[in-house]
Amino acid sequence: MFENVAIKLLIVDDLTVVREGIKSIVARTQDMGVVAETGSGLEAIRMARNIECNVILLEIALPDKNGLEVLKQIKSENSSAQILIFSAYREDQYAIRALKAGASGYLSKQSQPDQLIDAVRQVSNGLKYISPQLAQELANNLNQEHEDELHKTLSDREYQTMTMIASGKSVGDIAKDLSLSVKTISEYRARILLKMKLRHNAELTHYAIKNQLVD
């Protein structure tokens, strides 16, 4: 069906309504089509091995595997894979981390449909994409001196857990959202506090707010 389109997309998002929305947007174009979709990170890795696609649209918050871990796995197997992070997470929370991990671009789900189409086209041509807003923020920070921020020492899953704790979620809520055990999240929490030299959730929340990691 999509043999003749120039840009073949693989959508990775756990929400059916989001995947359907993207397909609706893409259907308005003549140069791209969705060749596959999944809500699973592990399935996305398998699909990336077996399906011909030009761009992978990837959410970070997946139920079975963190999207950044999926990104790294796909890039380790295919360094030329063009992966555009299209996430509900704010750009200032995850964009730099994603780009350093090998993403071709980062776009918030708050973006307009035309912006998504432009980003996909740019990434499909082998270029990097970041929004004008993020580009301006990075430019504003170029000449600012920063201390080594402790949250940069966290793994992707630890960072995700940290932002969720700082947003007021309990260990049980986080475990449910990430489809992990309470024990696993508790272990993440313990490692986070140790790495960041913090004593409890209140200090963690204060740190996250101070460094603008959460709203």
User: Same structural domain for residues 79 and 180?
Assistant: no
- pLDDT of amino acid 145: 46
Q: Evaluate whether 36 touches 13 at the Cβ level (below 8 Å).
A: no
State yes or no: pLDDT of 146 exceeds 80. Answer: no
Q: How many domains does the chain have?
A: 2
- pLDDT of amino acid 12: 98
The CA distance from 187 to 185, in Å, is 5
User: Same structural domain for residues 109 and 154?
Assistant: no
Domain around 62: 7-140
User: Same structural domain for residues 195 and 100?
Assistant: no
User: Same structural domain for residues 85 and 30?
Assistant: yes
User: Same structural domain for residues 83 and 171?
Assistant: no
Reported as a single tens digit per residue, the pLDDT across 63-103 is: 899 999 999 999 999 999 999 999 988 787 788 889 888 99
Residue 145: inside a domain, yes or no?
no
Q: Residue 6, Cβ neighbours under 10 Å: how many?
A: 13
Of 113, 140, 167, which residue sits at a domain end?
140
| CATH code for the domain in which residue 205 is found | 1.10.10.10
Of 116, 140, 164, which residue sits at a domain end?
140
Question: With bands split at pLDDT 50, 70 and 90, how would you rate the model's confidence at 14?
Answer: very high
Reported as a single tens digit per residue, the pLDDT across 30-50 is: 999 999 999 999 999 999 999
User: Same structural domain for residues 55 and 159?
Assistant: no
Q: Could you give the percent of the chain with pLDDT greater than 90?
A: 64
Q: Could you give the percent of the chain with pLDDT greater than 70?
A: 93
The CA distance from 198 to 209, in Å, is 14
- pLDDT of amino acid 130: 86
Reported as a single tens digit per residue, the pLDDT across 106-123 is: 999 989 999 999 999 999
Residue 94: inside a domain, yes or no?
yes
- pLDDT of amino acid 147: 47
Query: Which phi-psi region, left, alpha or beta, contains residue 214 (left: φ > 0; alpha: ψ -120 to 50)?
Result: beta
Residue 112: inside a domain, yes or no?
yes
User: Same structural domain for residues 84 and 107?
Assistant: yes
- pLDDT of amino acid 1: 53
User: Same structural domain for residues 170 and 122?
Assistant: no
State yes or no: pLDDT of 9 exceeds 70. Answer: yes
pTM of the model: 0.73
Residue 32: inside a domain, yes or no?
yes
User: Same structural domain for residues 128 and 183?
Assistant: no
Of 140, 172, 199, which residue sits at a domain end?
140
